[in-house]
Structures are given as C-alpha cells and as structure tokens.
Amino acid sequence: MQEMHLFEYAVIRVMPRVEREEFLNVGVILYCPAQGFLQTKFSLIEDRLRAFAGSVDQQELTDRLLAFQKVCNGRKEGGIIGQLPVVSRFRWLTANRSTVVQTSPVHTGLCYDAQETLHRLHEQLVL
C-alpha cells in the first residue's frame, strides 16, 4: 500500500490594489518534505487578468512569478533565497507581503504524489 505524505500549499494571488484586498488566483506553491518537493505552477489567463486589473503590466507580473519558480528550483539561479534549505524557501515564498503578488495562508493536506497534487490544486484553484 502506498504511503500518504503531509504537504503544505499556498495560492499565489495577484492583488493590483492592495488597499482594496481584491485578488485573482494565478498559481499554487506546494511543499512536501517527505518527497523533497517544492514547486510552483502558475497561469496568467490574459482575458481574466485584463478584466480584473487592466493596468497591471503582464510582463512584470510574469517576471515576478518566474522569480518564485527560481526560488523553488533553488541553486544559484534562485539568488540568495534559492540557496536556503527547501523548507526555508517555502516559508520565505509564503511570508506575508504587501505587494502586487501575494500568497494565501498556508494550508495542509495528505497526498501520495506531490506533483499530481500540485496539478490538481492548480486546476481547482486557478483555472
């Protein structure tokens, strides 16, 4: 029988006007320590983003989301934060911030396959 593993995740949100606290889900970050897994998956649906926040620079937003991916990947390309242990990178990515790109509170669950769970959460919460 396959063993279930604890995972933590947060939803990546675009919040163009922080003072209004309105946001659009654009991605998910998932961390599963037992599988050594830390990845993010995001989708910028242009029509939805334009309707929600027409003034947001989509290239700048893409660059910020790619920075999240680089931190998840670790190594030198992830900068100083990318050199930290996996759990520290996840905590840094999900820390409270007052910027256009924010994350939800961290949620937990159990999974067999972290990669499959990331894809499922992305479909349910973003697409």
Residue 127: C-alpha distances to residues 11, 42, 49, 67 (Å): 12, 9, 12, 21
pLDDT tens digits along 100-113: 999 999 999 999 99
Which pTM does this prediction carry? Answer: 0.94
Nearest to 45 by CA among 60, 62, 29, 30: 62
Residue 6: C-alpha distances to residues 39, 40, 51, 123 (Å): 15, 17, 37, 20
Mean pLDDT of the chain: 94
